[in-house]
Amino acid sequence: MGIANRTSLLTAYFSPQRNFPISLTEVIRNGLLQKTGARIGPTYLLSVADRGSLQELKLRGIPDPLFWPKQLDRWELLKCCTECLYPPHWHHYEEPETTVEQGENVVDCGAAEGLFALSVARRAGKLALFEPWSGFRESLHATFGSRAVVLEQAVGSRSHTARLKGGVLYGVVSETEGDPIQVTTLDEFRPGFGPINFIKADVEGAEHDLLSGARETLLADKPKIAITCYHIGNDWEHMVRLVRSVVPAYQYRVNGLFWSGRKPRPVMLHLWV
> Which CATH number does the domain housing residue 219 bear?
3.40.50.150
Cα dist. 183→48, 133, 139, 192, 198 in Å?
Answer: 34, 12, 21, 16, 20
d(CA 14, CA 266): 14
Q: Per-residue b/e over 203-216, b at no fewer than 16 CB within 10 Å?
A: bbebbbbbbbbbbe
Q: For residues 127 and 147, is the Cβ–Cβ distance under 8 A?
A: yes
pLDDT of 166:
80
| pLDDT tens by residue, the chain, 273 residues | 555 578 899 999 999 999 999 999 999 999 999 999 999 999 999 999 999 999 999 999 999 999 999 999 999 999 999 999 999 999 999 999 999 999 999 999 999 999 999 999 999 999 999 999 999 999 999 999 999 999 999 999 999 999 998 867 788 888 888 999 999 999 999 999 999 999 999 999 999 999 999 999 999 999 999 999 999 989 999 999 999 999 999 999 999 999 999 999 999 999 999
234: left (phi over 0), alpha (psi -120 to 50) or beta: beta
Main-chain dihedrals φ then ψ at residue 95, nearest 5 degrees: -125, 170
36: three-class secondary structure by DSSP: coil
Q: Which pLDDT belongs to residue 144?
A: 98
Q: How confident is the model at residue 6, as a pLDDT?
A: 80
Please tell me whether residue 155 adopts helix, strand or coil conformation.
Answer: strand
Q: Are 73 and 168 in contact (CB under 8 A)?
A: no
pLDDT tens digits for range 161-214: 999 988 677 888 888 889 999 999 999 999 999 999 999 999 999 999 999 999
Nearby residues of 13 by Cβ (< 8 Å), 6 or more positions away:
22, 24, 27, 257, 264
What residues contact 216, with CB distance under 8 A and at least 6 apart? Answer: 187, 190
CA distances (Å), 76 to each of 3, 73, 149, in order? 17, 6, 24
Handedness of CA 85, 91, 94, 96 (dihedral sign): positive
d(CA 58, CA 173): 32
Contact 98, 226 (CB under 8 A): yes
- The pLDDT assigned to 167 comes to 66
Overall number of domains in the chain: 1
The boundaries of the domain holding residue 208 are: 3-272
Q: What's CA 139's distance to the chain center, in Å?
A: 18
pLDDT value at residue 3:
55
- The pLDDT assigned to 170 comes to 82
pLDDT at site 1: 57
